[in-house]
Amino acid sequence: MRTAPTILHLDMDAFYASAEQAAKPSLRGKAVIVGGLGPRGVVATCSYEARVFGVHSAMPMAQARRLAPNAAYLVPRFGLYREISEQVMGLLRELSPLVEPLSLDEAFVDLEAGQTAWDAESARLTGVKLRGDIRAVTGLTGSVGLAASKMLAKIASEEAKPDGLVLIEPGTERELLAPMSVRTLPGVGPATGDHLRRAGITTVGEIAEAGEDELVRLLGKAHGVALYAMALAHDVRPVVAERDTKSVSVEDTYDVDIHDRVRVRMEVQRLADRCVRRLRGAHLSGRTIVLKVRRYDFSTLTRSETLRGPTDDPAVVREAAARLLESVDTTGGVRLLGVGVSGLADYTQEDLFAQARTAAAAASAEELEQAEQEEAEEAVEEPVPPAERRWHAGHDVRHAEFGHGWVQGSGLGRVTVRFETPGSLPGRVRTFRSDDPLLEGAEPLPLVERRPGDVGSSAAGGEG
């Protein structure tokens, strides 16, 4: 354990929802819920105003609608969230070479490794400056925890929420932890917490009093020893800058079960192409193709096939996924499909299965997607009318006359748009036909107008 609180944990506050509120003046101070809006959707993030009604992340969207019927329900804009995340991570890397991202909105930083903090006062000043820089660059707030270990830094950032900073002085850890719920410790979920409660253990202090032998008896050796050490505030895990990616995968959950076998095949092919694009984007290749199928009765099946060498050839991944699908019975209906690649490498050996497809392998992702779409259209016996343009709630649009706005809702051939920008006053609402030729999708606008010399402008600009 360190003798100074030089491990920092940053957690952005209600990240997706806060980004949407910053982008949409009419939603500031109101309940905002971001997630899948279909019948089987779940809440990804909700604003603090929505949490007052009992809404929380991972809650079924149908339940959230019952609790907060008047909230704004938006489809995630992951491109925007990734862009903001890159800006934030850029600021963290200015503090230290050891930054360990946990997700788009959360990371550990070893301030000692970056020589930006060496005692409690310098660590506090660094945390205060970081929070100011994040607000200046992104317009959003983040909570900061500072401590001598990763576990305690994360606990501190939770105590700091929202928009605060908590520093745990070395030597005060056990006193701080003692009254906290056992659920505060990493690895203690509902089942473990209930098991401990039945044994009369509900706080971290009671875990320490019970002793290691009793914890081992209750939870087994590995879990018991680890939990007892955490209750004593012992955590020597280092901040790790790079995490090895073990697999790359994509999956989709469908609002209505898919029964048609042709449609299932088409979806698997589409997912295979998306997976390969993600694989290539990470400059990786892989040997093992994995298919995931969740059926109508919630039973989940996985099938895998290992190739002779690593590949990032979309045709190879599509064919392997198709072969795996043949071994799965989907007649009762499918609610989720996924395609993944594991056994990753940062190079691609010549694929023996793809020698006859050199031209296809060299084609761009757009050409491959277009070819696949044409094959799918040929597989449909009856002509299908053109699909109605889809407008996702919360996504950006531009109208030739009224300018930039966002989709407030759509359906029955109409789309309602609120015209406003991050720097404007709350805007007016107008409704158009969904096929209005003057209305088109648009890229998100920056949440903060960048000017030369702004705090953190170099970090933000470098990430595009």
Lowest mean pLDDT of 276-280, 328-332, 455-459, name the range.
Answer: 455-459
Start-to-end Cα distance in the chain: 38
Q: Residue 220: pLDDT above 70?
A: yes
Cα gap 23→20, rounded to integer Å? 5
pLDDT at residue 347, as a whole number = 52
pLDDT tens digit string along 73-111? 999 998 899 999 999 999 999 999 999 998 889 999 999
Q: Residue 360: pLDDT above 60?
A: no
Cα gap 418→393, rounded to integer Å? 11
Report, as an integer, the average pLDDT of 370-378: 46
Cα gap 331→148, rounded to integer Å? 55
Cα gap 160→127, rounded to integer Å? 12
Tokens representing 18 are 């806060």
Tokens representing 306 are 């290992």
Sequence letter at residue 429:
V
User: b vs e for 32-59, b when ≥16 Cβ sit within 10 Å of the residue's Cβ?
Assistant: bbbbbbeeebbbbbbbbbbbebebebeb
pLDDT at residue 380, as a whole number = 44
Q: Which of 83, 106, 267, 319 is catalytic?
A: 106
Tokens representing 380 are 């449909």
Q: Residue 374: pLDDT above 60?
A: no
pLDDT level of residue 452 (50, 70, 90 thresholds): low
The reply, when asked if residue 11 is annotated as ligand binding, is: yes
Reply yes or no on whether 106 is catalytic.
yes
Torsion of CA 251, 257, 258, 259, to 10 degrees: 140
For residue 165, how many C-alpha atoms fall within 13 Å in the half-sphere facing its CB?
17
Q: Hey, where are the domains in the chain?
A: 1-171+452-464, 175-231, 247-379, 396-441
Report, as an integer, the average pLDDT of 154-182: 93
- Mean pLDDT (the chain) is 85
Q: What fold is seen in the domain 175-231?
A: DNA polymerase; domain 1 (1.10.150)
Sheet (strand 72-74) strand order: 43-46, 32-35, 72-74
For residue 360, the 8-state DSSP code is: H
Report, as an integer, the average pLDDT of 24-51: 92
Pairing status of strand 300-311 against strand 99-103: unpaired
What percent of the chain shows pLDDT beyond 90? 61
pLDDT at residue 238, as a whole number = 92
Sign of CA dihedral 244, 301, 61, 420: positive
Placement of tokens 């030739």 in the chain: 400
Q: How many residues does the chain have?
A: 464
The reply, when asked if residue 312 is annotated as ligand binding, is: no
Query: Are 5 and 171 in contact, with CB atoms under 8 Å apart?
Result: no
Query: Are 257 and 333 in contact, with CB atoms under 8 Å apart?
Result: yes
Cα gap 3→159, rounded to integer Å? 21
pTM of the model: 0.72
Its CATH architecture, for the domain 1-171+452-464, is: 2-Layer Sandwich (3.30)
Report, as an integer, the average pLDDT of 403-411: 94
β strands within 242-314, DSSP E = 247-258, 285-295, 300-311
Tokens representing 116 are 């930006």
Q: Residue 460: pLDDT above 80?
A: no
Give yes or no for a cis peptide into 238 (omega within 30° of 0). Answer: no
Homologous superfamily, domain 247-379: DNA polymerase, Y-family, little finger domain (3.30.1490.100)
Per DSSP, what are the bridge partners of residue 190? none
Per DSSP, what are the bridge partners of residue 302? 292
Report, as an integer, the average pLDDT of 367-395: 56
pLDDT tens digit string along 251-278? 888 878 888 999 999 999 999 999 999 8
Cα gap 343→147, rounded to integer Å? 36
